[in-house]
Amino acid sequence: MEGNLKPPLIALDGPVAVGKSSVGSLLAKKLGYVFFDTGMIYRAFTWKVLKSGVSAEDKGKLCELVTATEFNFVPSKEGVLSVFIDGEDVSSRLLSPEIERLVAVAAKVAEVRQAMVSEQRKLAQRGKVVMAGRDIGTVVLPWAELKIFLTASTEERARRRHLELSRRGENSSLETVLADLKKRDEMDINRAISPLKPAEDAIIINTENLSLEQVVDKICTLAASP
């Protein structure tokens, strides 16, 4: 499979809980690429914001904090990246409700985004990367050879996220999950800088009635076609 591949960079964008991580990690595994979920870097920074006691609304403090933060990414054997902040592996701590609530607030700040974009581009230089996020096709890697934008209805995404949370033993109601998801979508779509939207040359895949394997197979076919 690897021999036929054209694009060394695949941009995978879409809203909250559309399946970017599941699709991206399986896709990367099949293609022998590394998967980088850029939501992790925004979450990792938010983890530091919380740890430092800085308000996520305080732009000045966020700018100082992001400049003073050292990010590092280490691929696992499975091709998924672990995120290190100032030398500490924080990858397993990034799905907490506190981070979930604040991450889109910190992600609105221009200087924070600039720092994140530069980290993401450094990483993309290695090639053979599937990079997932909100602005990968539009801002981070507009030169990516293949750009995919995943969609699914808000209700379906809330259902998927609710299931995922229940599996992890977190028991939020479906209504709460739906309300949080709508709020984060709203912030991601309407922010002034790098809002969530498909790149003009992105291929849109509605995942609503497709299995994970079907979505990944579709993208593999696109990646292999001239």
Footprint of ligand C5P (CB under 6 A): 16, 38-39, 42-43, 103-104, 107, 133-135, 184, 188
Q: Find the residue with minimal CB distance to ligand C5P.
A: 39
Please give the structure tokens belonging to residue 3: 């021999």
Compute the distance between CA of residue 105 and CA of residue 115 in angstroms, rounded to an integer: 16
- Whose Cβ is closer to ligand C5P: residue 101's or residue 126's? 101
**Nearest-approach distance from CB 224 to ligand C5P, in angstroms:** 26
Please give the structure tokens belonging to residue 58: 């305080």
Contact indicator for 148, 203 with CB cutoff of 8 Å: yes
Contact indicator for 15, 206 with CB cutoff of 8 Å: no
The amino acid occupying position 43 is: R
**Nearest-approach distance from CB 63 to ligand C5P, in angstroms:** 16
**Nearest-approach distance from CB 86 to ligand C5P, in angstroms:** 20
- Whose Cβ is closer to ligand C5P: residue 48's or residue 135's? 135
- Whose Cβ is closer to ligand C5P: residue 141's or residue 216's? 141
Edge-to-edge strand order for the sheet containing 88-89?
71-75, 81-85, 88-89
- Whose Cβ is closer to ligand C5P: residue 80's or residue 135's? 135
Contact indicator for 185, 17 with CB cutoff of 8 Å: no
Terminal CA-CA length for the chain: 14
**Nearest-approach distance from CB 132 to ligand C5P, in angstroms:** 7
Contact indicator for 62, 56 with CB cutoff of 8 Å: yes
**Nearest-approach distance from CB 134 to ligand C5P, in angstroms:** 4
- Whose Cβ is closer to ligand C5P: residue 4's or residue 118's? 118
